[in-house]
Amino acid sequence: LNYDASKARVEAARGQVERAVRLAPQAVETELAAGAYRLQQREYAVAEQHFRRALALAPRDPRLALGLAEALDGQQKTEDARDVWLTHPAFGGRDPRPLVEWAARIRVKDFPEAEKLFLRALELAPTTRGYSQYLNALLLVGDAPTAKELIASIPPAVLQEDALVMDAVKAWTWGGEPEPALALLARIPRDFLEEFVYSTPKDAILGHALKLQGRHAAAEAAWNRALAVLETKLAAEPGRARWLRLRADLLALTGRVEEAEKVQTLLQDLPNDSFANTDFYRARFLAHAGKAQEAAATIAGGKLWLREHSEGRLAPWFAEVRRQPRVTELVKTWEREYEEMSRRRVVKG
């Protein structure tokens, strides 16, 4: 479910869970499957019940403890979730996954503490999610040198995982270095990248690297290819906000702003979808559409998102937006905050 949240996949998962409940209603695997399904549906209280029942049967199963923590976190029971991630006996003090999950939750409020947890997790056992979350945390505080060191330390085979492809390309592109981004993308045979909450046609991020090199025609060609790939997703799920948002961005990048605005109108009818109507996605669309002043107004209206989304402070397509006075001051504010936070960071030797 983490990798494919399409309606068809969700319905298939629901059917499998219902069948499992009929066949073995009190089995650990049944409770695990039911809990995972409820997490996907954001029915966190119900998911919590499933995971607690499962843990009563198998108290040392780390999968169940991870699910319980996520269910608690989804209900804003933050301290309870923290206690599970950091102290539950199912993890035995040697599992990197709970450390990564808690670090990911606190990286905005307390990056130094989050960094300690990320480094400890990588010492225990490097994972794709551990690398990904730490890399994004480094971008959040604007630490490009350490981000590059981290990318260089990732084994080449692991670096070809979808999430890390996108993260590494992001780090290089935002840092003004398109060459290593292009080299990595050339080694990836897939035309669509999707992992965790990330989803994009490969050519969509390729276009940004090409534009950074000054190859504007090649960038536009890449974005048009990305649109063609995206059409297959939309054909299967025409109302899914994630695909509509990507389509609006790509249309704007290729100069079809009027058509892109029509897609944005469709997104406004999906108020409960986090991929549809947040200030962050709206500002990104406006930046792609060349509407810097409108993007700046959107950012100023939702001030906190600059703190949580490094894209607004680093990505080249936000450069003109950052030059707008109201955004310039916000960027300076958050940079001062991160400078202060950095003084408490771990000294790595």
Q: Distance (Å, rounded) from C-alpha 325 to C-alpha 308?
A: 20
Quick: pLDDT tens for 171-196.
999 999 999 999 999 999 999 999 86
pLDDT tens digits for range 34-92: 999 899 889 999 999 999 999 999 999 999 999 999 999 999 999 999 999 999 999 99
What integer pLDDT is reported at residue 337 of this predicted model? Answer: 81
Report pLDDT for 273: 58
| DSSP-derived 3-state class of residue 198 | strand
Across residues 105-113, what is the average pLDDT? Answer: 92
For residues 139 and 136, give the distance between their C-alpha atoms in angstroms, rounded to a whole number: 5
The pLDDT of residue 308 is above 90: no
> In this structure, are residues 229 and 192 in contact, taking their beta carbons and an 8 Å threshold?
yes
pLDDT for 270-296, tens place per residue?
A: 755 555 557 888 899 999 999 999 999
Residues 6+ positions from 123 with CB-CB distance below 8 Å: none
Here the tokens at position 22 are 């009929």
Q: Which residues of 114-143 are buried (b: 16+ CB within 10 A; e: fewer)?
A: bbebbbebbebebbbbbbbbbbbbbbbbbb
Contacts of 164 (CB under 8 A, 6+ apart): 128, 131, 132, 135, 154, 158
Residue 4: pLDDT band by 50, 70, 90 thresholds? very low
The pLDDT of residue 299 is: 85
Mean pLDDT in the chain?
88
User: Which segment of 175-179, 260-264, 271-275, 317-321 scores lowest on mean pLDDT?
Assistant: 271-275
- pLDDT band for position 309 (50/70/90)? confident
CA-wise closest residue to 102 among 64, 51, 137: 137
Output the CA torsion sign for 106, 112, 117, 118.
Answer: positive
The full DSSP string for 150-188 is: HHHHS-HHHHTSHHHHHHHHHHHHHTT-HHHHHHHHHT-
Name which of 41-55, 134-148, 305-319 the model is least confident about: 305-319
Say what the pLDDT of residue 339 is.
80
Bridge partners (DSSP) listed for residue 192: 201
Q: What's the CA gap between 129 and 154, in Å, rounded? A: 12
Query: pLDDT confidence of 341, banded at 50, 70, 90?
Result: confident
Tell me which of 326 and 197 has the higher pLDDT.
326
In the prediction, which pLDDT does 17 show?
46
Q: What is the pLDDT of residue 180?
A: 97
pTM of the complete model: 0.86
Give the HSE-up count for residue 42: Cα atoms under 13 Å, Cβ half-sphere. Answer: 5
User: What three-state secondary structure class fits 301?
Assistant: helix
In angstroms, the Cα distances linking 173 to 67, 148, 176, 311, 316 are 35, 12, 5, 11, 8
